[in-house]
Chains A and B, each alone.
Chain A
């Protein structure tokens, strides 16, 4: 018996010893794939994935209890909707062969021909890049939902988001990352300040202006119903953001580490500055302020993460927290629009600041593929950044306006007054986030109940009538 065991053990050890040799041989065949880079990008894709459910909790806690499921459903449903859209058409529109700097052609429709190829100019399989970018395409429209929370009909939401992903997100991703005209212009956007945050924030502002305020806005209080849920969501967002920014290095390398540190620096600095601003301005430091601040900092550092050094990242965060705080606390109140959960105030404003800051503090010391910003002796970059900010604003405003009008031709966009009063959980989804044990009601097919039986009999009678 002992002999058999030692034989097995020896065989196993041999296998283990030989295995690396076999792997190395495999590597030689696909010389350009780096396993460390690939592992990091795949993990980063999973980190970015968890941001969207995190966003669902972040937003879900901030709405009133009657809308918690409707709000969470919007983000969660987008994960499904846009993942399928991305594989079918999104990837090829954004990253297919460039057509006149405007859009990718359709040669990779349905991921045709991607196979197990190595990413062009990369060290990872193209499919890892597809997965990573898929999560970006998912979270961007989900960010918009904060602006029109608590009042948009679900069918209109689905149609709008799908059109938005196809006609606004995919082209913009191509312009900046897919070899389009903004990339040729020299605009820098490391992980998506322009493509993701300006685009979603400004689109959100456009839609909330078109839909109008929630009924009773400004008169009856609309308080967050579950701030601990919001804190949980913000923590998941912060966690996932390491994949978002450091993963955008597309490799497990020093650039990724730089993006990781700048991300933490800006998020922490903005949390401090938002809380302090609020403390001075309103008298109390709040947890909603702390989590809003961290998101503002994360947004602001997103375009800059792989181009700036850690100290400028602290400044970008400090300024981002204060600017976003005043955007939501003062500017929004003065202008009177109802951006329910501050998609514009945090993502639009924070993204704009981040894109400008990239033009100020970017340095080729961090990233030779980048450029030097204004504080490092070159003004070309800041000009390119400003032009691309304007382009992103125009695309978001005009595009969202046209798409909402188109959706409005086919269906009602906003819920009716009584639906809005009873809440979207009931009107759109027929379910409730929080059970009330004493609420009466019987199962339709509960045969122990006389009236239900009568109802069933009526149903059967109805059927026979039809026959």
Chain B
């Protein structure tokens, strides 16, 4: 069984389509996308309701999770940074994890077979 690696990318929502295309180009087809909120270096904004100010510092982001084995991790990192980097705070983070195993529920296949596209 080949090694499985999970990559989490948290970034700006408006970059999602561009990132998906870039990942598809290097052969990453499957991913899970969630809408999330986060805070970090990027400052939030101010909202005012009937004169009462609220500082909204949780910023909307998207989180893209994907598990890879054939595609080199380096390629994914390069593609993601190429697309996502603006140089401003708020570009986001990439996290890389080892994955112990994976199961395709439909067939019961495990490991790399569970996540590879059927040919």
Q: Does B50 contact A (CB under 8 A)?
A: yes
Interface size of A by CB at 8 A reads 18
Contact indicator B49/A224 (Cβ below 8 Å) = yes
Contact indicator A329/B50 (Cβ below 8 Å) = yes
Contact indicator B53/A282 (Cβ below 8 Å) = yes
Q: Does B52 contact A (CB under 8 A)?
A: yes
- In the complex, what's the smallest C-beta–C-beta distance from A356 to chain B, in angstroms? 23
Contact indicator A223/B54 (Cβ below 8 Å) = yes
Question: What CA separation (Å) do A207 and B115 show in the bound complex?
Answer: 61
- What 1/0 mask marks residues of chain B from 27 to 68 whose CB sits below 8 Å from any chain A CB? 000000000000000000001111111101000000000000
Q: Does A391 contact B (CB under 8 A)?
A: no
Contact of B50 among A283, A284, A288 (CB under 8 A): A288
Main secondary structure of the interface of A (DSSP, over half): helix
Q: Which residues on A sit within 8 Å (CB–CB) of B54? A: 221, 223
Question: What CA separation (Å) do A224 and B47 show in the bound complex?
Answer: 11
Interface centre among A221, A224, A288, A342 (most CB of B within 10 A): A221
- What 1/0 mask marks residues of chain A from 278 to 315 whose CB sits below 8 Å from any chain B CB? 10011110101100100000000000000000000000
* Contacts A221-B54, A223-B54; A282 near B48 (Cβ below 8 A): yes
Interface size of B by CB at 8 A reads 9
Question: What CA separation (Å) do A224 and B48 show in the bound complex?
Answer: 11
Contact indicator B51/A330 (Cβ below 8 Å) = yes
Question: What CA separation (Å) do A329 and B49 show in the bound complex?
Answer: 9
- In the complex, what's the smallest C-beta–C-beta distance from B106 to chain A, in angstroms? 21
Q: Does A39 contact B (CB under 8 A)?
A: no
Contact indicator A286/B48 (Cβ below 8 Å) = yes
- In the complex, what's the smallest C-beta–C-beta distance from A132 to chain B, in angstroms? 32
Q: Which residues on A sit within 8 Å (CB–CB) of B56? A: 221
Q: Does A328 contact B (CB under 8 A)?
A: yes
Q: Does A325 contact B (CB under 8 A)?
A: yes
Contact indicator A328/B50 (Cβ below 8 Å) = yes
Interface centre among B52, B53, B56 (most CB of A within 10 A): B52
Q: Which residues on A sit within 8 Å (CB–CB) of B52? A: 329, 333
Question: What CA separation (Å) do A286 and B53 show in the bound complex?
Answer: 13
Chain A residue nearest in CB terms to B56: A221
Question: What CA separation (Å) do A292 and B54 show in the bound complex?
Answer: 18
Contact indicator B48/A325 (Cβ below 8 Å) = no
Q: Which residues on A sit within 8 Å (CB–CB) of B49? A: 223-224, 286, 288
Question: What CA separation (Å) do A278 and B56 show in the bound complex?
Answer: 19
Question: What CA separation (Å) do A451 and B53 show in the bound complex?
Answer: 49
Q: Which residues on B sit within 8 Å (CB–CB) of A286? A: 48-49
Contact indicator A333/B47 (Cβ below 8 Å) = no
A binding-site residues for B, Cβ under 8 Å: 221, 223-224, 278, 281-284, 286, 288-289, 292, 325, 328-330, 333, 342
Top 4 nearest A-B pairs (CB, nearest first) are: A329-B51, A221-B54, A282-B48, A328-B50
B binding-site residues for A, Cβ under 8 Å: 47-54, 56
- 7 A-B pairs within 8 Å (CB atoms) are namely A223-B47, A282-B48, A282-B51, A283-B48, A325-B51, A329-B52, A333-B52
Please give 8 more A-B residue pairs, beta carbons under 8 A apart, in addition to A223-B49, A329-B52.
A221-B54, A221-B56, A278-B48, A278-B51, A282-B53, A288-B50, A328-B50, A329-B50
